[in-house]
Amino acid sequence: MRKAQAASAVNQPLVTPTEVRRFDKAVTVRDRGAFLFELDRLVREKLAAATHVADEATPLTETLGRKAASLRAATSWAPTAVDVQRGRTELLREFERPHNLPLADFVRLAHKSRQQIYKDIAARRLLTLDVGRRGQRIPDWQLQAPGLQLTRSVLQAADDVDAWTVYRALAEPCEALGGQAPAAIANRGNVDAIARVVLASLGVQPAERAGADA
């Protein structure tokens, strides 16, 4: 019964003779029957095309959904013992690079007391690296005013970013700076600009200075 009703509905004209009369003021219809037939066929073609587009949208959405699902791993990645050991070896190699000074050497070269250095570290005014029982090391670029200012700006703005991540952002080549390391090219005239670049690489929005808009 429903199939018969559907077939009857399909065979019913979409455009009626009464509706064709709406064109009388705009056009002269010589053969009203032929005009009605062609208009009805045009409307059906447009409806069929619109239905086809709608039908195509669902498979496309499903296809994209399947592709997105295929990119998600069934289980979360976890490092193996080999991965952990390799990572620690790389960390120690970086930790022992010549520009990362032992705490005692930094204290001597900075002409400050050990207590003051500890206070600066606790207040995130100095960047220090730690790998456990090997003690702390401090990058030597903080012995110079521009490098120290740059590091402090980044540490203060990125207060929830760990020290090693900040270190790499400052010490490694940066594409936005022409492949140069931020800490290596900092000077009194570009510290603020470089700090913004470093913070952007860390995904941190720098805080606006008080009175900047005054």
What pLDDT, in 10s, does the model give residues 59-85?
666 777 777 777 766 676 677 777 777
Q: Name the band, by pLDDT with cuts 50, 70 and 90, for residue 55.
A: low
pLDDT value of position 210: 43
| Distance (Å, whole) CA 38 – CA 112 | 94
Is pLDDT of 19 > 50?
yes
Q: Which residue has the higher pLDDT, 59 or 10?
A: 59
Share of the chain above pLDDT 90, in %: 48
Say yes or no to pLDDT of 142 above 80.
yes
pLDDT bin (cut points 50, 70, 90) of residue 212 is very low
Cα–Cα distance between 38 and 10 in angstroms, integer?
16
- Give the number of other Cβ atoms within 10 Å of residue 32's Cβ: 13
CA distances from 42 to 8, 14, 53 (A): 19, 10, 17
Nearest CA to 114 out of 134, 138, 95, 130 is that of 138
Query: Exposed (0-12), middle (13-18) or buried (19+): which is 169, by Cβ within 10 Å?
Result: buried
d(CA 96, CA 99): 8
Mean pLDDT of the chain: 82
Mean pLDDT of 115-119: 96
Q: Give Cα separations from 118 to 107, 121, 143 (angstroms).
A: 10, 5, 15
**Residue 6: which pLDDT band, with cuts at 50, 70 and 90?**
very low
- Tell me what pLDDT residue 52 has: 65
pLDDT of residue 170: 96
In this prediction, residue 125 carries a pLDDT of: 95
pLDDT at 213: 42
